[in-house]
Each structure stands twice: as C-alpha cells, then as structure tokens.
Amino acid sequence: MMMFLAMDFGGTFVKHCLMDAEGNISERGQFPAPLSFREEFVNAVSTLYDRYRGQVQGLAISMPGVLDSASGYAYAAGAYSGILSKTNIYELLKDAVDVPVSIENDAKAAILAEAWLGALKGCSGGAAVIIGSGLGGGIIMDGKIRRGSHFASGEISGLMMESGNFSFDSIAGSRAGMTGFLVRVAQAKGMNPADFEISAFIQSPVREDPTKPRITGKEVFEWIEAGDEEALAAYRSWIDDLIMVIMNLKAVLDPEKIVIGGGVSRNPRLIKDLQEEFKKRMEPMKMFGMPDCDLEACRYTADANLAGAVYNWMQMYGRE
Amino acid sequence: MEKYIVLDIARSHVSYAIVTEDLDFLEKGRINTDYHEKKDLFDPMIELIRRYKDEVNGVSITMPGVIDRETGFAYSGGMYNWVRNMDYAGEVSKRVDLPVVICNDAKAACMAELGYGNLKGIRNGLMVMILNTGIGGAVVADGKLLNGEHFAAGEFSYMRGDYKERDGVNDMFALANNLDGLSRCIEEESGKKNMNAMRIFAKLQMGDEAVLAGVRKYCDMLATYIYNMQCIVDSRRVVIGGSIADEKMIIDLIREAVDRKFDNFSYQNIFKPEIMECCFHSNARMYGAVYNYREVMKNRKAKESE
C-alpha cells in the first residue's frame, strides 16, 4: 500500500506522521513551527523528509492561508505569511523533496478528512460548520472541496448577520464562534469578557486578577447544566446564530448533510439542541416543499488536518 | 439540424414552440388547459405533441415543482397537486413515443443564461430572480448548474438575512426582497401606496427623490443577501432576473448597493462579484428548455457509452 508523509503546519507546532492510503497512522512526531525564515521552513521539511526518503510516495502538507493547491501558490499563509506569502511552495520544495508534494488549507483539510473517512463520507453534497474561536466552514461536492472563484467558497465566517451593521460585530465569525458565545455569556452575567477564554483579537477591559485561570466553554456548559438562567439565555441566542448560518448554507446549496465540528461539537447537548432548533425552523418551510437536511457532529477530532492533507494528495495525483 | 418542441406549462395554459438547436423559433403558440386533474393537462398536451411528432427529435418541458431533471422524475408540481412522485417525463414519453425531458421553470430560465446568456463561460456564478412572491435562482458551480441533494439548490427564498428579526418571518429573503418588498420600501420612504413596478420605473425616470430613497433601501437589503450568498459560493458574476431586471436603472442601483456593501464592510475577505442583468426575458424558459434537453441527452449518451 502507498505510504505518505503528512505534515500539519500550525501556529505553534508542526505535527507530522506517516499515513497509509486507508488513513492508518504510524510514527507520529512534532517540532516547533519554523516561522522566522524561509530557509528554516525548507530545512525543516527537508530534514524530516530525508528520514523517510524511499519509504513514502508522497508528501502531503496542511497549512493556514489562501492556497492554490493545483499550482502550489500561496497567496497568504496565516502565521507563515511573513516567510511564505506570494510564494510557490512546490517550487520552493522542488530540490528538497523528490516525491509529489501537495498543499491544502488546514480548515479545508479538516473538512476533506470528514469527506474521506468521517461524517461526510459518501456524501455527494455536504457542508461543514467548524466552531473554533471564530467560525470556519467548507463545502464538499462529489467528494471534493469547493474552492470558488477566489478560493473563498465556504467562507461562512464572513456571513453578515445584521443587514445595516458594517462592523465586525455583524459577522458570523464574531457572533457564532466560541468567542462570540463566551462574550455573550460574560455580558449576560455582568462579568468581564477578558476573564473568559476568548480570542486575543477582541478588545476587552483589563483583567483584575491576571493569574486567575480563564473560564472555558466547558465550565459554561456546566453552568448551563446546573440551570444558570443568564448563561442559558446567552446559549439560546448563540444557538439562534448558528441556526441562521446553517439555514443560509441549506438554502443556497441544498446539501445532503451539514456537519458541525470544532472542540465544542463533542458536547452532545449542543448537537441535540441544534438539531431540535433546526427542525423547528424548517417546519414552516416544509409546507412550501423545502426538503430536509441531516445535521450531525463531525467524526474526526485530532488528526483531521493530517488525514485531509493525505486525501487531498490522493485527489490531486489520482490515486484514491 | 435537430429540432425540439418545447412546452412551458403555466396555470391556465401551455406555451409551446418549435425550436432548432441553433435557437431559431420556427413556430410558436399556446393552448388553454386546466390544472385540476391529470387529464385536464395531459390530454391536450399529448395531442399537441403528436401533431408535431414527425418534425421534431424530442420534447422539452418546463413546469413548476421539484424535479429531477436528469431522470425526469417529478417530486411535486407547484399548483398541480396531482403531481406527486411520478415519472412525469416517462409517462409523456410513452404516450408520444419521443424522448422527453423536464425541468423546473425557474431553473430553465437560469439555464438559458448559463447556456447562451450572461452566465455562459462563467465557472462560478449566481442567478437571482426577483419574483412576485419570492426569490428564485440558481448556483453555477464549476461550470454546471448545481442541483443540490433534492434539486432545491438556489432556493434563495429561504435565506435568513437579519439578526434582529430572526424570530419573525420578515427577515426571510423571500419577504424582504420580493416585489411586495420593493413596494413596501417605497411606501416607507415616500408614503406612496400600491406602487407597482411600472409606476416605480416611471417615478424614477422623473427623478422622484423619495421613490429613489425607497428603491435604495430595497437594494441595500438585496445587497446583504447577495453578500451572504457570496460568502458561501464565491462566484465571479451575479445575474439579476425577473421583471425588475428589465429596467437598467434598477440594475445600476443594485450594483451601487453591492459596491456600498462590499467596499465598506469591515470583513474584507469576500470578493465582490460583477452584477449584470439577465440576457433573456420573455423566452428565457424556452431557451433554457433547449439547453436542458441537449445537456440531459449528452449525459445519457455519456452514461450509455461507459
């Protein structure tokens, strides 16, 4: 069976492993992200590849950024933008790696993993809503990721939730991600949002006691389970936002299935509440012939980016 | 050269035409029908097709409803409530002994643009049709009309647009931006009641500021939905259809509103699509029917040879 070297370039670490064509993982490892120099990036890839040279038939990379997988060109590269922006990654690695190389955006890779072996497997049309600190998304058609005209298809983070509001507060990425949820809980309870585990991009008042551990989503869900009414109200309004995102995906694409990912999607209460609310909202539309759509949690938790990178490699070089 | 009989089924009549593959209309006409029972429609329609049987290569029908255009299976048929999960194209085909394809009428209008009009050659595009009661349309993904899992992709009517009114029905695209929505915006801004499209255009031409403000308000809402579609689809061009697209001034106002939205919105990762009017108006569905016939036949041949 074919064997691949898969690398996932994150903001802090690079995770890597060997993976076969069925998604089985062996020889995991990680090293600090080479963010400072372009040579450092090439060396990191080259050193790791040398260790597995002859054993692997392909190098599959997942990384942040706006990437053209077909040509290898990185328009932007997230945390790596300083060293890899406006660079052709395939050209850059040409001398270091003598097997075919593939790159894929990390969020898209995570969704490809679902299409390959997860909740979107065998699905001709599907969409994913990934709840991170913000909101990510992607669209699968015939097992492939949809890219659109400018690699921005599925950019649900940008959905405008309030017609006349042109600020960042209006976008789904601000409202419907974990940060949006936790800020809302803080406001409902009259607490300082800075005491919650929110994105560093949000401006909020200074913390009174910076040594106190930040309040996580997990804790907030415990409050909700315990019947905290303010937290529950904030939770309900967050659910409404997520439903609005889901409804828009549904109306435009008519997918077979929409899957919810991100750490919080492992919480069964969230998935159950989303399913119930979605069903309620769909009811009046069914009278007009609007068809149903499945809503469920993503199956992959860790390793999604690595698996998706490998699936992308197989799609690019035609060895599925 | 191939010739087809195309039929556009509406509530009280069927419009038909004999069209060549080069889109020349050789003959046009209409017959009156009823819609209550199957035979009210089928009997006169079958008789009509039989009259042209020896002249044409096949039949292409457009009608309301949820339809699998690849197989000709109709899940529902709009006001034709006897159309429920039936092999519509198959039944007609059996009775006339010709190949028959069918598709949804709004999708046909979009296919006219995709095949021969302003979406031709566009790999990723959108068609937004502003109708009396809702918003129809279609998504072109990688050069093909997107069907969706239940042939309901592009049913933009059901999109939700505003956070504040999410519990009501007013923030649904259908209600915010159908033609009633336009009249409502104008009434709010100018106090003028019951403005239909014709009167709105006339007032705009005369430079009525209050009516212009109402149209702008309407276009701003429309632009929000176009922006939201663009987050999902990432298209190069959006084609506006429906009766208001006849008026160039409205298209210009929509384009201005889209510019305002995309240029001033703080989230800058979504690309502004080009806004254009549709190319086909009164005969759009018939052109689309020709395109659909040729596409479906091409796909069937490809499948047979596999």
For the segment B234-257, the average pLDDT, to the nearest whole number, is 92
Considering only CB atoms, A155 lies closest to which of B75, B148, B231, namely B231
Considering only CB atoms, B270 lies closest to which of A152, A161, A250, namely A152
d(CA A260, CA A281): 17
Q: Which domains does chain B have, with CATH numbers?
A: 3-108+283-304 (3.30.420.40), 121-278 (3.30.420.40)
Tell whether the model's pLDDT for residue A77 goes beyond 90.
Answer: no
Chain A contact set for B267 (CB, 8 A): 157-158, 160, 168, 171, 173
**A250/B158 CB distance under 8 A:** yes
Considering only CB atoms, B124 lies closest to which of A148, A249, A289, namely A148
**B152/A125 CB distance under 8 A:** no
Q: Do domains A3-111+303-317 and A121-297 have the same CATH topology?
A: yes
Determine the topology of domain A121-297 in CATH: Nucleotidyltransferase; domain 5 (3.30.420)
Cβ(B106)–Cβ(B129) under 8 Å? yes
Chain B contact set for A76 (CB, 8 A): none
Summarize pLDDT for A83-103 with one digit per residue, the tens.
Answer: 998 999 999 999 999 999 999
Predicted confidence at residue B189, as pLDDT, reads: 93
**B232/A147 CB distance under 8 A:** no
Chain A residue closest to B152 (CA)? A254
Tell whether the model's pLDDT for residue A233 goes beyond 70.
Answer: yes
Note the pTM of the prediction, 2 decimals. 0.89
Chain A contact set for B269 (CB, 8 A): 152, 155, 157-158
Determine the topology of domain A3-111+303-317 in CATH: Nucleotidyltransferase; domain 5 (3.30.420)
Summarize pLDDT for B12-71 with one digit per residue, the tens.
Answer: 899 999 999 999 999 999 999 988 899 999 999 999 999 999 999 999 999 988 899 999
Cβ(B216)–Cβ(B118) under 8 Å? no
Chain A contact set for B173 (CB, 8 A): 251
Please measure the distance between the N-terminal and C-terminal CA atoms of chain A and give it in whole angstroms: 11
Summarize pLDDT for B283-303 with one digit per residue, the tens.
Answer: 899 999 999 999 999 999 998
Chain A contact set for B228 (CB, 8 A): 159-160, 248
d(CA B69, CA B151): 8
Domain boundaries, chain A: 3-111+303-317, 121-297
**A254/B155 CB distance under 8 A:** yes
Considering only CB atoms, B232 lies closest to which of A124, A164, A252, namely A252
d(CA A104, CA A70): 9
Summarize pLDDT for B83-120 with one digit per residue, the tens.
Answer: 989 999 999 999 999 999 999 988 999 999 999 999 99
Please measure the distance between the N-terminal and C-terminal CA atoms of chain B and give it in whole angstroms: 26
Summarize pLDDT for A165-223 with one digit per residue, the tens.
Answer: 888 888 998 899 999 999 999 999 999 999 998 877 676 778 888 888 999 999 999 99
Chain B residue closest to A76 (CA)? B269
ipTM score here? Answer: 0.88
Closest CA to A154 of A168, A179, A141, A136: A136
Backbone angles phi, psi at A290, to 5 degrees: -75, 120
Chain B contact set for A149 (CB, 8 A): 123-124, 234-236, 271
Summarize pLDDT for A113-140 with one digit per residue, the tens.
Answer: 999 999 999 998 999 999 988 898 999 9
Summarize pLDDT for A259-310 with one digit per residue, the tens.
Answer: 999 889 999 999 999 999 999 888 877 776 677 889 999 998 789 999 999 9
Closest CA to A305 of A81, A113, A57, A69: A113
Average pLDDT, whole number, for chain A? 91
Predicted confidence at residue A26, as pLDDT, reads: 93
Q: How many CB contacts within 8 angstroms connect chain A with chain B?
A: 146
Summarize pLDDT for B173-206 with one digit per residue, the tens.
Answer: 888 888 888 999 999 999 998 888 889 999 999 9
